[in-house]
Amino acid sequence: MQNDGRLTHVLDPEDKGQDECGVFGVWAPGEDVASLTYFGLYALQHRGQESAGIATSNGKQILIYKDMGLVSQVFNEDHLHPLTGHIAVGHVRYATTGKSHWQNAQPTLGPTPFGTVALGHNGNLINTQALMAKVRDDAGEDLTGELGRGSSTDTAVITALLGAADNYDSLEEAALGILPALKGAFTLVFMDEGTLYAARDPYGFRPLVLGRLSAGWVVASETAALDIIGATFVREIEPGELLIINEAGPRSVRFADATPKGCIFEYVYLARPDTKIAGRGVNASRNEMGRALAREHPVDADIVIATPDSGTPAAIGYAQESGIPYAQGLVKNAYVGRTFIQPTQTMRQLGIRLKLNPMREVIEGKRIVVVDDSIVRGNTQRALVRMLREAGAAEIHVRISSPPVEWPCYFGIDFATRAELIASGLNVDEICQSIGADTLGFISPEGMIAATTIPESKLCTACFSGKYPIPVDHAKVAAGLDPAVEE
């Protein structure tokens, strides 16, 4: 099932890095797998708000429905009811490769020598162009699946590679042959008519977990998606692991050795605060980041406020450590999504005012500490400081629970180009002057890393440090090419 798609973009006033996608899969005979997937995607909505899709299999055929917009905009009972079966794959998308239009919504769907495959992907490949050339060599002009229907995503390329895998005896064998050729970040959830699969890149850039239902199994980007459907967390899917789930239960196969480099920005901003990654609650990490920030950048002030909602856990930590009272100084309009970053600064600033409104009676005449999780371009903080000044704040001290973002991400976060990153051209004092604050303090890399309780050697900090786990060529990106360094 497919439809024409409604292009629904809600203004995004948050000047943040956006994660590409959230993935969900379920194998559960006798259960309403479409509804389970619907609720699972609801829990992952923060990972992508441009499009949503669900594919199901009854063992004989795969049905799919996807559209532009939020999960609640895409699906209703009339859409979910025909999606019958015992296997489902779901996806929410924020674009990092490929334009934001219906053809690039996921799951992708394509034929293979072994049946049909429906696939959802979270991450970003850095050798897509080389892989696309391989598809053309293998499949000729008859490009299989979504790639042949105008999709421009790396996900469609993976689907096409599986579709051209006629030198293998099964989809599992094809996946084991193809996955080692993928460079970059990928967590994949895919299925054919009878089996659910999940795979995580050897670095484990993006989270992926396995959960247990009374009648089956679930895989999802975050543990919060397990919680919402009543599934029990079993374990994380390991970097370099392919998981196969059918009537015999889960079976694990390795396609690469694990070299863990989990994205630290998941702890800073991307993941839900009620999610656990590597056994550590995200909320606890953010709270500790706020405490470390208070120790590193103390200030005399009357109240601590957060930029809601992403800055709230760190702001609470800052208040607890500093002894400065925490107050609600900003009210968030819960009905404004963060689906689409408007292309002009004027629209971004209007969006910030639409989403956040200062409480004058709380902040007027006060010396305020404003805690946020990150600064990317600086537009959010600049507009926020202006609003707080207009509302009568006596002093504004901005504190950021991550270091300056100085480098682009090629592994699944849609940061600005390096030229657009405010910290790539200005030092802290200059950024402070640019946003109009009285003082500005960023947490140290050491403080941020310690808050995760994960060793630095197992984290990717490239957006802060410029140290990429996989070698990249920035000049190739500037020329419109994939960043992968040729071996």
169 shares its domain with 106: yes
**CATH number, residue 300:** 3.40.50.2020
User: 301 with 249, same domain?
Assistant: no
Is 432 one of the annotated binding-site residues? no
| 255 and 313 assigned to the same domain | no
Final residue of a domain: which of 218, 233, 263? 263
Question: What confidence score (pLDDT) does residue 92 get?
Answer: 96
Same domain, residue pair 244 and 350: no
Same domain, 82 and 163: yes
Q: Quick check: 114 pLDDT over 60?
A: yes
| 154 is known to lie in a ligand binding site | no
Model confidence at 486: pLDDT above 70 = yes
The answer to the question of residue 480 being in a domain is no
Residue 238 domain-assigned (yes or no): yes
Provide the CATH number for the domain around residue 66: 3.60.20.10
Using the predicted structure, report yes or no on whether residue 415 has a pLDDT greater than 80. no
pLDDT score, position 144: 57
For residues 3 and 216, which has the higher predicted lDDT (pLDDT)?
216
For the stretch 197-215, pLDDT in tens is 999 999 999 999 999 999 9
Query: What residue numbers bound the domain in which 307 lies?
Result: 281-454
Above 60 in pLDDT, residue 10?
Answer: no
| Number of Cβ atoms within 10 Å of the Cβ of 74 | 24
Residue whose pair of structure tokens reads 């409480």 in the numeric block: 359
Tens-place pLDDT, residues 48-78? 988 999 999 999 999 999 999 999 999 999 9
Q: Do 251 and 292 reside in the same domain of the chain?
A: no
Q: Of 263, 290, 315, which residue constitutes the final position of a domain?
A: 263
Residue 354 is predicted with a pLDDT of 78
Residues 208 and 289 in one domain: no
Number of domains present in the structure of the chain: 2
Catalytic residues: 21
Q: What is the mean pLDDT of residues 419-440?
A: 96
Mean pLDDT estimate for the chain:
89
Say if 101 falls within a structural domain. Answer: yes
Task: Quote the pTM value.
Answer: 0.90
Q: What is the pLDDT of residue 169?
A: 95
Identify the band that residue 340 occupies on the pLDDT scale cut at 50, 70 and 90. very low
Annotated ligand binding at 409? The verdict is yes
**Are 96 and 31 in a shared domain?**
yes
Q: Is 152 annotated as a binding residue?
A: no
Same domain, 100 and 133: yes
Q: Which tens digits make up the pLDDT trace of 120-177?
A: 999 999 999 999 888 887 766 555 566 655 555 789 899 999 999 989 999 999 999 9
pLDDT tens profile 368-396: 999 999 999 998 899 999 999 999 999 99
Does 326 lie in the same domain as 218? no
Higher pLDDT, residue 423 or 97: 423
Evaluate whether residue 3 is within a structural domain.
no
Same domain, 36 and 138: yes
Q: Are residues 361 and 238 in the same domain?
A: no
Mean pLDDT is lowest, of 3-12, 26-35, 206-215, for 3-12
pLDDT-based confidence at 246, cuts 50/70/90?
A: very high
Q: Give the range among 6-10, 149-153, 169-173, 246-250 with minimum mean pLDDT.
A: 6-10
* Residue 373, marked binder: yes
104/284: higher pLDDT: 284
Residue 11, pLDDT > 50, answer no
Domain termination site, one of 212, 236, 263: 263
